[in-house]
Amino acid sequence: MKKTGASLAVYALEQIGVKYTFGIPGVHNIELYDELNNSDQIEPVLVTHEGGASFMALGVSCTSDSIGTLMIVPAAGTTNAMSGIGEAYLDGIPMLIISGGTRQDTGRHYQLHQLSQENLVNEITKAYFKIESHNDVLSTIYKAYEIAISGEPGPVFIEIPTEIQMFKGDFNELVPYNKSFQNPTIDQHKIEAMALLLQQAKNPGIYVGWGASKATEYIQRIVDILGAPVATTLQGKASFPASHPLHTGFGFGPNAVPAGQKSFKNCDAMLAVGVRFSEIGTGSFGVTVPENLVHIDINPDVFDRNYPTKINLEADASEALELLADELEKLMGSKPKNNSILVASIKKEKEKYFNQWKEKPLKDKVSPGYFFESLSKHTDDDTRFVVDDGKHTYLAAELLPVNSARHFVSPTDFNCMGFCVPAAIGAKFMNPKSKVVGIVGDGGFLMTGMETLTASTYKKGVVYFVFNDGELGQISQFQKIPLKRKVATIVGDVKIKGIADACNAVYFRMENDDEIDKVIQLAFEKVENNIPVIVDVNIDYSKKTMMTKGVVKVNLARFSFKEKARFIGRALKRHLLEKE
């Protein structure tokens, strides 16, 4: 039996449930694209840049059960896509990268795009495969898919040389995909020990991340049994509903909102699930973790890396938490624990903090508090929110309630600007009936804003709110606090309407608080026509988030007395003596 490698590859991608590929065709993958044109299941999506393709693939994987898939040329296509691949790797998001490869059958050197892609992607992928024969195509793609989605998920790279794509070759049989991997066996004794430790705690707390985003129902069972407060990582906003009365918000240390700080102040036992205790989630490692830390994660490498555990368990979050909930019910019963004092405190602190962002309506700027209040009124629990990296990220983390699992997507540990615009498009491809909202700073928008053309070409109605302050807001604020200077953080005077016009998108300008409701309503009316909408928000960034204040405080406290005196002295001198 003979088939081209391209036809075998497309068959394999269909078998594993791929719906879309994102990329740009070239001489090294033209046969793959020709075969995709014959597929009734997979649509090849043309992007403006392979970096956008990799972020769109992330949007697919984060908001659906399909795997985001790239279809790119080698070398230049790969380097262009590496930001999104790296984001997938550090954030634990599954992705398949299908790359063409230079010819292996000519004996020629210095071919177009000829370099070692294995060396190139080694640091940002879970695995790399180079297909050597037609008989390897199906098995390699199936294996790559299982590596990508098993354990801690991540990107896997497959290179298919051009001659294998083009020419027919022998293969054994057209084998359909059958799942072959299993999650780790759960140690029931550890589950019992965890349950006993949590049951005996006076003030237990729960900390959840993206790794628990498919386990929300079991987290809620455990929360109700223990009556414990729940804090999340940044990505973990998508793992537990903000509407739950024991949800405290993003973080629990100095970087957290007051509800989180106060609720976890006396925490004597913590259940952490699907988290790494990474720099962003812990506010620059500023949290205090109790001695009785129990940690569940699919990746055993995360245990004890930053904070020592009392008990740790390598397991799938859903499987482990279901068993843990059952065990806690045996010990404590299934009736929800009455924790009305804590519930009232969380509610009070949340309302008090949010109201601090709405002290007085502004006539010359848009207040974050009034903006997010209005955005919440015009969206629902099925809305998909996608943010970029920047000051707006932490405003959304603190002020935007998200109530449905996997409905908030952000770049986190790789922390790459330019994520939002294309990732929101990927989310819309997979969730056409849901509202998709992108929130992005002007700096991030300038990196990938032209992918709005992809949204308009494929009729994907995404609403983008561009928080426009003319600066790289988060970094310029970090500069201004201690240094009273802004070095290379002032953005050029870009006319965002020009980008909207060039990309066939609808444009609105939001000048001040009086315009918030009207403009948001108009934006959602226009997006119903399946065209992207760009809202240019004249945002007020003068007020600092708890994340900003917490990180500055934590890092300054680590300085030696001599260095602390030098930094504080320099800041005082500049702020008191230097003119604006």
Please give the chain's pLDDT, 580 residues, in tens: 899 999 999 999 999 999 999 999 999 999 999 999 999 999 999 999 999 999 999 999 999 999 999 999 999 999 999 999 999 999 999 999 999 998 888 888 888 788 999 999 999 999 999 999 999 999 999 999 999 999 999 999 999 999 999 999 999 899 999 999 899 999 999 999 999 999 999 999 999 999 999 999 999 999 999 999 999 999 999 999 999 999 999 999 999 999 999 999 999 999 999 999 999 999 999 999 999 999 999 999 999 999 999 999 999 999 999 999 999 999 999 888 889 999 999 999 999 999 999 989 999 999 999 999 999 999 999 999 999 999 999 999 999 999 999 999 999 999 999 999 999 999 999 999 999 999 999 999 999 999 999 999 999 999 999 999 978 777 777 777 777 778 888 888 899 999 999 999 999 999 999 999 999 999 999 999 999 999 999 999 999 999 999 998 998 889 898 888 888 888 778 877 776 5
SS3 assignment for 381-438: CCCEEEECCCHHHHHHHHHCCCCCCCCEECCCCCCCCCCHHHHHHHHHHHCCCCCEEE
- Report which residue type is found at 430: M
Using CA atoms, how far apart are residues 448 and 56, in angstroms rounded to an integer?
A: 11
Please state which CATH class domain 357-546 belongs to.
Answer: alpha beta
Give the fold, CATH level 3, of 188-346.
Rossmann fold (3.40.50)
SS3 assignment for 441-490: EHHHHHHHHHHHHHHHHCCCCEEEEEECCCECHHHHHHHHHHHCCCCCCE
- Report which residue type is found at 468: N
DSSP structural state of residue 530 = S
Give the fold, CATH level 3, of 2-170.
Rossmann fold (3.40.50)
Torsion of CA 525, 527, 531, 533, to 10 degrees: 100
**Comma-separated ranges of CATH 3.40.50.1220 domains in the chain:** 188-346
**Comma-separated ranges of CATH 3.40.50.970 domains in the chain:** 2-170, 357-546
Would strands 127-130 and 155-161 be described as parallel, antiparallel, or unpaired?
Answer: parallel
Using CA atoms, how far apart are residues 127 and 335, in angstroms rounded to an integer?
A: 46
Using CA atoms, how far apart are residues 347 and 371, in angstroms rounded to an integer?
A: 21
Cβ-count burial 263-274 (b if 16+ within 10 Å, e if not): bbeebebbbbbb
Using CA atoms, how far apart are residues 5 and 10, in angstroms rounded to an integer?
A: 9
For the purposes of burial, counting CB atoms within 10 Å of the CB of 310, is it exposed (0-12), middle (13-18) or buried (19 or more)? middle
